[in-house]
Amino acid sequence: MASLFDLTGKVAIVTGANTGIGQAIALALASAGADVACVGRTPAEDTAGRIRAMGRRAEIISADLSTIDPVERIVDETAAKLGGVDILVNNAGIIRRADAVDFTEVDWDAVVDTNLKSVFFLSQAAGRHMIARGSGKIINIASMLTFQGGVRVPSYTASKSGIGGLTKLLANEWASKGINVNAIAPGYIATANTAALQADETRNRSILERIPAGRWGDASDLGGAAVFLSSRAADYVQGHVLAVDGGWLAR
């Protein structure tokens, strides 16, 4: 059974790999045997160093995914340096908060461009490579707001709702070509993106009261789901959005 989850010899791209969820997923994939291209606006030196300490290869690729300009380079550079692309984790994302009546076009475009547009075009670039090889795994990072509306985050909600639909669309098109496309929807995870919520005493209390597990998630809680969806164990899983949320949606 353990061999189903073995990623030895696989090459993964993880965006936003320098901190938080992206770093945790990159480390989890490496612990299962994968070599990892760590993509981020700032160099993921710590992540790469920890991967290399496990005896795996790691490459640092600096790229700003607020535009689609670097997507082809990310895939080409990974393939050239690590020998291919077997797994893509679309984790990089941003959030902007304001009341809907005050939300600006600048904040709308910044979030949607990073969280949805770049995800599609990076998936497209990786998908071409994977289709040519006849296999591959793509994991998108969705959100509780893929299922719910949220408040004061209209562009984030729109982008993460779009991720749910895009995941299904790509699975529909590429399943027959040997590509699995799924998503992970993290619950309330203690990261920089949720710092404002953690610091708001009222919001923090209301969030914890709803989570059956009784705690904020840690980024490492997502590692097992990422390894599963990247592995042979998930070969018949397609278009699924897997919630890792401490029971939030069940409540």
Q: How far apart are CA 74 and CA 70, in angstroms?
A: 6
Rounded Cα distance between 76 and 55, Å, is 23
The answer to whether the beta carbons of residues 36 and 56 sit under 8 Å apart is yes
Strands (E), the chain: 11-15, 35-40, 58-62, 87-90, 136-141, 179-186, 241-244
Encoding tokens for residue 45? 């030196």
Radius of gyration of the chain from its Cα atoms, rounded to whole angstroms: 17
The reply to whether 156 belongs to the active site is yes
Q: How far apart are CA 217 and CA 144, in angstroms?
A: 13
Q: Identify the active-site residue in 10, 25, 141, 156.
A: 156
Cα separation, 233 vs 85, in Å, equals 19
Give which of 171, 147, 138 is closest to 238, Cα–Cα: 171
Q: Which of 78, 88, 73 is nearest to 57 (CA)?
A: 78
State the Cα–Cα distance between residues 183 and 242, nearest whole angstrom. Answer: 6
* H/E element, 168: helix 154-174
Degrees, nearest 5: CA angle 21-166-30: 30
Q: Mind telling me the catalytic residues?
A: 156
